Amino acid sequence: MMDRFGPRPDLSVIRDDVRAIKAYPVPSAVGFVKLDAMENPFSLPEGLQQQLGERLGRQALNRYPMSDPRGFKERLGKLVGLPAGMQLMLGNGSDELIHLLILACAKPGATVLAPAPSFVMYEMSARFDHCKYVGVPLKENFALDTVRMLEAIEEHRPAIVFMAYPNNPTGNLFERSAIEMILRAAPGIVVLDEAYLPFAQDTWMPWLKRAPNLLVLRTLSKLGLAGIRLGYLAADVDWIEQFEKLRPPYNVSVLTLAAADLMLEHMSILDSQAASLRSERAKLLGQLQGMPGVRAFESAANFILFRVKDAATVFAGLKQRGVLIKNLAGSHALLEGCLRVTVGTAAENETFVKALRASLNVGQ
């Protein structure tokens, strides 16, 4: 029997800040109506599933993927309206691209700035890469506090400003005039994260030709392809050239590229699904806004934020009734009492509404 050098692994080699935090929580959704992660609830049509299987089966899994799939990026760029002279960079989801952007700018003392509350990965990635993070509180109605944003930019001179458009977890679109002022004031990069573009239908992509410090970040996840993990960054050639130096050479798998390439030929299916979810969003929002004890906020995304008196009790009641959503109470002062529900199918939304009514009655 081999001798053991110590009773337990010596974790002191791990950074103190890493040991002090918890891993990003991803709860099990087995057995639940899953409305917690802003996913498209629709599967692909059976015929397209068969085409996808055949295409994936033809891929050379014994070979590394293409490091620079130019043909795919050209087709994607044409589809998304990439302005002439701009380029795309692909990532293993937009999370990887957020990390690489920050890593590229992580000089000693560098600051990353964003409205708060917003997408948690902005702060997490900034801290992982030893950057200072500044979250500028939104107004009580979740509107952008433009004055405070501009003051914070002047004070901290951030290397990167992240702006989720629409914002997650609040769901609202910030005023375009305010973002224009931020673009002019920011000394570094301004990243407009358009993860929920299929539901907001409002983009900054054409502005890439006008604002040299603007980058547009997107993902295919919310459109219905969360499982393949593909994000993309659109920016001036000079920016992309620098960021590509940090991108792992084989970060996007052959299966991801093959699946995405096929779906470029069938985007009308995903667009139709997004249109259905926009319609369901309007119905669900109306139901929530008419429900006693609930304050639901307008949304341009595929989720709705709402506030109740006792979020923990309502959240638990929903779980007991087989519905999983996101409890945001306690994550930020402005989100006290807030829950977030993904817009699902008509049947899923009906199940959620019934479960919510029952949970609210229990909590009163």
**In the sheet where 132-137 sits, what is the strand order?**
86-91, 231-236, 214-219, 189-193, 160-164, 111-116, 132-137
For the segment 226-240, the average pLDDT, to the nearest whole number, is: 97
For the segment 308-322, the average pLDDT, to the nearest whole number, is: 97
Q: Give the separation between CA 75 and CA 232, rounded to whole angstroms.
A: 13
pLDDT score recorded for residue 239: 98
Tell me which of 2 and 190 has the higher pLDDT.
190
* pLDDT surpassing 90 at residue 21: no
pLDDT score recorded for residue 30: 86
| Reported CATH class of domain 11-45+268-363 | alpha beta
Predicted confidence band at 295 (pLDDT cuts at 50, 70, 90)? very high
pLDDT score recorded for residue 243: 98
* Secondary structure of residue 108 in the 3-state scheme: coil
* Secondary structure of residue 342 in the 3-state scheme: strand
Q: What is the pTM of this model?
A: 0.94
Burial readout 9-20 (b: 16 or more C-beta within 10 A, e: otherwise): eeeeeeeeeeee
* pLDDT surpassing 80 at residue 88: yes
Predicted confidence band at 7 (pLDDT cuts at 50, 70, 90)? confident
Closest CA to 94 of 52, 125, 68, 66: 125
* Secondary structure of residue 111 in the 3-state scheme: strand
pLDDT score recorded for residue 162: 98
| CATH of span 63-267 | 3.40.640.10
Q: Give the separation between CA 193 and CA 200, rounded to whole angstroms.
A: 12
All residues at 6 or more sequence positions from 225 whose CB lies less than 8 Å from its CB, including other chains: 259, 260, 263, 270
pLDDT score recorded for residue 146: 98
**Residue 201: exposure state from Cβ atoms within 10 A (0-12, 13-18, ≥19):** exposed
For the segment 270-293, the average pLDDT, to the nearest whole number, is: 97
Burial readout 295-331 (b: 16 or more C-beta within 10 A, e: otherwise): ebbbbbbbbbbbbbebbeebbebbbebebbbbbbbee
* Secondary structure of residue 143 in the 3-state scheme: coil
pLDDT score recorded for residue 4: 67
All residues at 6 or more sequence positions from 169 whose CB lies less than 8 Å from its CB, including other chains: 117, 118, 303, 305, 326, 328, 335, 338, 340
Domain residue ranges in the chain? 11-45+268-363, 63-267
* pLDDT surpassing 50 at residue 363: no
**In the block, which residue shows the tokens 């990532």?**
91
pLDDT score recorded for residue 67: 87
pLDDT score recorded for residue 364: 47
Q: Chain-wide mean pLDDT for the chain?
A: 95
Predicted confidence band at 10 (pLDDT cuts at 50, 70, 90)? confident
| pLDDT tens, residue by residue, 115-124 | 999 999 999 9
Lowest mean pLDDT among 17-31, 235-249, 323-337: 17-31
pLDDT above 90 covers a percentage of the chain that reads 90
Whether the CB-CB separation of 120 and 98 falls below 8 Å is answered with: no
* pLDDT surpassing 70 at residue 46: yes
- At residue 362, φ and ψ (nearest 5 deg) are -65, -40
For the segment 79-90, the average pLDDT, to the nearest whole number, is: 97
Tell me which of 150 and 31 has the higher pLDDT.
150
For the segment 223-240, the average pLDDT, to the nearest whole number, is: 97
